[in-house]
Amino acid sequence: RDGAAAQYGSDAIAGVINIVLKKGVTDTQLSGSAGTTSEGDGDTYTASAHKGISLGADGGYLNLSLEGRRRNETNRAGVDSLRVNPPRVTQRIGDSLAKDGYLWMNAALPMGGGELYTFGGASKRTGDAAGFFRSAGDARNVPAVYPNGFLPNINTTVKDASLGVGYKHDLSGDWSMDLSVNHGRSELGFHESNSINVSYYYENGSSPLEADTGKLKFDQTTLNLDFKGSVDVAGAPLYIGTGFEWRRDNYQIVAGDPVSYQYGRSNDPRKIIRDQTGGIAASGIQGFPGYTPGTEVDDGRHNTAYYVDLERKVGDTLSLGAALRHERYSDFGNTTIGKLSVRYDPSRLVGLRASGSTGFRAPGVQQKFYSSVSTNLNAAGVLTETLTARENSAVTRAFGIAPLQEETSKSASVGMILRPTNNFSVTADLYRTNIDDRIVFSSNIAPESGACTTAAACPIKAILDPLRVGQAQFFTNAIDTTTTGFDLVAQHTTRGQGSTLVLSGQLGFNRTKVKDRHSQSSVLSGAQLFDDTQVTLIEKGQPRQHHVVAADYTVGQWNATARANYFGEVEGQGFTPGFIQTWEAKWILDLTARYSFTKKLSLSAGVNNVFDTYPTKWDPVKAAPFPQLGFTHCWETCPFGINGRSMYAKVDYAF
């Protein structure tokens, strides 16, 4: 929409977040908060500290920030009436148990007439979520170990670290330069507990009940050299920003313990191991089977980019802008994109703006290289092993799926700014974005039903059966979409004696349509590759309306804020042919209050979702089997969260 990809590159196609770092030495700050939900679960505790330190006598500084958080799990699962008798709650549906720790820093030191700076941090986050419940009679259960069935736990550990170092210096005139290098690394480790490898057990009577199931790793290094300044053109300055970027991305999948993925200890697919139902025993540990040596990957790509950003004022009322960016990727070639913008301010009271741009988004290395097997629901609402196949794998080649290419976009927007008074402003923007060759997760591709006399008669079955999976998915350039939208933002400020009232409102309307579904596959049509359920998810799976109305009032040492969010209706399909579930539009009200004892000590409290509003429940009959499995409110899509009302208190102290 904003054409940011033409200025900042592929990842900016959805916009840019500007992170503002602390500058200089500030007070030492301590903060602590505690909260819970009205159901008595999800207790959350957070503590943080910040310290600023002076470096040298020339204005250097170091800022350190530390934060720790614990969030207990929530559970909004309904009664499972399908798999257990008598019916009871068997699932965990809500927030996972989470324990997080963060350490961040940024520093700057005058040097050589310029400034040497650095920023970065490290974090560790652990989580405990749950998979699907396995009932006592399920083929994926061993009754001798779990006579009442079991709920596998998916334990995760996320480790992130990043460091940026740069040097900026003023050049002649108003020109300046900024040279920087940044490196970041993320690691996601999986561990399965309260589980079992069914094939292990029925091969020789025993199986471990937990295992490490593998890791995902991502590394990124970027080098930037940027210049900004101006030159005089026809008596007026032409502002210029230009530069170069080099980037390297690397992605790894590390295999889990052998028990997490093997079919029996021999791991011989020719061997017949029967489960309790007489069928072929499931391989791998239940819940999230481990990554196998065959899915391991250590691959990446690099790209270079050159950009120029121009802006010039024409008289006192007109501003013109243009941006051009050229990128070269090692895996799919070159692309050049651009942006044109204009702003006209005939008076202080009104302004008009418009822009048009082209953009692109390169496929993420995760989308290119990820592969796994997990348990999911098939079209009949039955748990089955689901393969996520990587680009250019034997499976995607068998289906005739081409390697991923970049998404391309064309976007245009027009807007108006009104400032009737110093205390009142209104902005309105209308936009339209076309995205071609959009990268999406395919539908679940399942084998043909019925008798198959030859492989040619059932090509999908011939591809999937040797892999011992019930369905497959993959990333592919499958659709073209158009999004149109309108945003209106207004704010009014009233100042009295010792008090300030700020009223604000934001209205957001948008609509996405799938223009085309396409497939290069000789086996799958576009409608099979991305079926109607997935189209509904793209077009109606998120609110087409989102509005926010807020009031912020400050008087003396008190501050109070009321904020109401409106989430428009969303739709989604279940497994009943022709049935579409509608989640009704609803308002959510949040209230906060703060009292400042001094300028450095304050206490605040708040209630989110004051009226304990939940999304619409699944239709108890037409949406089967979701409500019967305990999924009361949502599945793939939800207009807002399912935790209901929550309350918190917070204290802030500076010295």
Among 10-14, 105-109, 396-400, the least confident range: 10-14
- Joined tokens for residue 435: 């995205």
Q: Are 374 and 214 in contact (CB under 8 A)?
A: no
- The 10 Å Cβ neighbour count of residue 425 is 16
User: In angstroms, how far apart are the furthest CA atoms of the chain?
Assistant: 87
Of the chain, the percentage scoring pLDDT greater than 70 comes to 99
Say how many C-beta atoms besides its own lie within 10 A of residue 445's C-beta: 23
Rounded Cα distance, 146 and 140, in Å: 11
Q: In the predicted model, what is the mean pLDDT of residues 34-52? A: 98
554, pLDDT greater than 90? yes
Check whether 1 has a pLDDT greater than 70.
no
Are the CB atoms for 214 and 257 separated by under 8 Å?
no
pLDDT in tens, 592-628: 999 999 999 999 999 999 999 999 999 999 999 999 9
- Cα–Cα distance measured from residue 164 to residue 180, given in angstroms and rounded to the nearest whole number: 7
Cβ-in-10-Å burial (0-12, 13-18, 19+) of 629 comes to buried
Percent share of the chain, pLDDT over 90? 82
Predicted confidence at residue 376, as pLDDT, reads 77
HEC profile for 142-159? CCCCCCCCECCEEEEEEE
pLDDT band at 8 (very low <50, low <70, confident <90, very high): confident
DSSP state of 286: S
CB 125 within 8 A of CB 98: yes
CB 253 within 8 A of CB 296: yes
> How far from each other are the two terminal CA atoms of the chain, in whole angstroms?
43
Q: What is the mean pLDDT of the chain?
A: 94
pLDDT higher than 90, residue 47: yes
Indicate if the pLDDT at residue 584 is higher than 70. yes
Per-residue model confidence (pLDDT) at position 2: 66
Mean pLDDT of the region 552-562: 98
Report whether pLDDT(381) > 70.
Answer: no
Confidence class for position 235, pLDDT limits 50, 70, 90: confident
Overall average pLDDT of the 476-502 stretch = 97
| Side chain identity at residue 3, one-letter code | G
For the segment(s) 5-75+83-410+435-480+511-540+571-581+626-634, the CATH number from 1.25.40, 3.90.930, 2.40.170, 1.10.287 is: 2.40.170
Model pLDDT for residues 307-326, shown as the tens digit of each residue: 999 999 999 999 999 999 99
